[in-house]
Amino acid sequence: MKIKRNYTMMCDFYEITMGNGYFESGLMDQICYFDVFYRTIPDKGGFAIAAGLEQVVDYINALHFDDEDINYLRSKGIFSEGFLDYLKDFKFTGDIYAVPEGTPIFPNEPIMTVRAKAIEAQFIETFVLSEINHQSLIATKTCRIVRSANGRSVSEFGARRAHGAEAATLGARAAYIAGCGSTSNTLTDITYGVMASGTMAHSWIQMFDSELEAFKKYCEVYPTNAVLLVDTYDVIKSGVPNAIKAFKEVLVPKGFRPKGIRIDSGDIAYLSKKCRRMLDNAGFSDCMIFASNSLDEYLIRDLLFQGAKIDAFGVGERLITSKSDPVFDGVYKLCAVEDKDGNVIPKIKVSENVGKITTPHFKKLYRLYSKETGHAEADLLTVYDEDIASLAPYELFDPNAIWKRKIYDDVEVRELHKAIFLNGKQVYECPNIEEIRKYCKEEVDKLWDEVTRFENPHNYYVDLSQKLYDIKQGLLITNKR
The one-letter amino acid code at 71 reads N
Confidence (pLDDT) at 395: 87
Rounded mean pLDDT, 7-12:
93
Q: Identify the DSSP state of 196.
A: B
Residue 120 has pLDDT above 50, yes or no: yes
Residues 469 and 338 reside in one and the same domain? yes
Through-space distance between the first and last CA atoms of the chain, rounded to whole angstroms:
50
pLDDT digits (tens, 9 = 90+) for 310-328: 999 999 999 999 999 999 9
> CA 125, CA 122: separation in Å to the nearest integer?
6
pLDDT digits (tens, 9 = 90+) for 291-311: 999 999 999 999 999 999 999
pLDDT digits (tens, 9 = 90+) for 458-472: 999 999 999 999 999
DSSP labels for 380-439?
Answer: EEEETT--GGGGPSEEEEETTEEEEEEEE-SEEEEE--EEEEETTEE---PPPHHHHHHH
The domain boundary, picked from 320, 350, 369, lies at: 320
Confidence (pLDDT) at 355: 84
Mean pLDDT (the chain) is: 95
Residues 197 and 261 reside in one and the same domain? yes
Count of other CB atoms within 10 angstroms of residue 126: 18
Q: Are 134 and 52 in contact (CB under 8 A)?
A: yes
Count of other CB atoms within 10 angstroms of residue 203: 9
Residues 272 and 397 reside in one and the same domain? no
The answer to whether residue 266 sits within a structural domain is yes
Q: Kindly report whether the peptide bond that precedes residue 393 is cis, defined as omega within 30 degrees of 0.
A: yes
Residues 88 and 154 reside in one and the same domain? no
Residues 118 and 146 reside in one and the same domain? no
Residue-range definition of the domain harbouring residue 444? 13-138+326-480
The answer to whether residue 6 sits within a structural domain is no
Residues 181 and 45 reside in one and the same domain? no
pLDDT digits (tens, 9 = 90+) for 166-214: 999 999 999 999 999 999 999 999 999 999 999 999 999 999 999 999 9
Which CATH number fits the domain that encloses residue 203? 3.20.20.70
> CA 103, CA 135: separation in Å to the nearest integer?
13
The answer to whether residue 72 sits within a structural domain is yes
Residues 146 and 134 reside in one and the same domain? no
Confidence band, pLDDT 50/70/90 cuts, at residue 400: low
Residues 336 and 274 reside in one and the same domain? no
The domain boundary, picked from 288, 304, 320, lies at: 320
Q: Are 397 and 461 in contact (CB under 8 A)?
A: yes
> CA 152, CA 327: separation in Å to the nearest integer?
27
pLDDT digits (tens, 9 = 90+) for 424-460: 999 999 999 999 999 999 999 999 999 999 999 999 9
Domain total of the chain: 2
Q: What are phi and psi of 244, to 5 degrees?
A: -60, -40
The answer to whether residue 336 sits within a structural domain is yes
Residues 200 and 173 reside in one and the same domain? yes
Residue 90 has pLDDT above 70, yes or no: yes
Residues 398 and 445 reside in one and the same domain? yes
The domain boundary, picked from 267, 295, 320, lies at: 320
pTM as predicted: 0.95
Confidence (pLDDT) at 351: 85
Which CATH number fits the domain that encloses residue 342? 3.20.140.10
CA 258 to chain centroid: 35
Confidence band, pLDDT 50/70/90 cuts, at residue 258: very high
Confidence (pLDDT) at 363: 98
Rounded mean pLDDT, 410-432:
97
Residues 17 and 58 reside in one and the same domain? yes
CA 233 to chain centroid: 38
Give the angle 318-321-325 at the CA atoms, nearest 5°.
80
The answer to whether residue 476 sits within a structural domain is yes
pLDDT > 90 fraction of the chain, expressed in percent and rounded: 92
The answer to whether residue 427 sits within a structural domain is yes
The answer to whether residue 26 sits within a structural domain is yes
The answer to whether residue 131 sits within a structural domain is yes
Q: Which residues partner with 98 through β-bridges?
A: 112, 418
- Count Cβ atoms within 10 A of the Cβ of residue 52 and give its class: 0-12 exposed, 13-18 middle, 19 or more buried: buried
Residues 146 and 45 reside in one and the same domain? no
> CA 169, CA 164: separation in Å to the nearest integer?
9
pLDDT digits (tens, 9 = 90+) for 124-149: 999 999 999 999 999 999 999 999 99
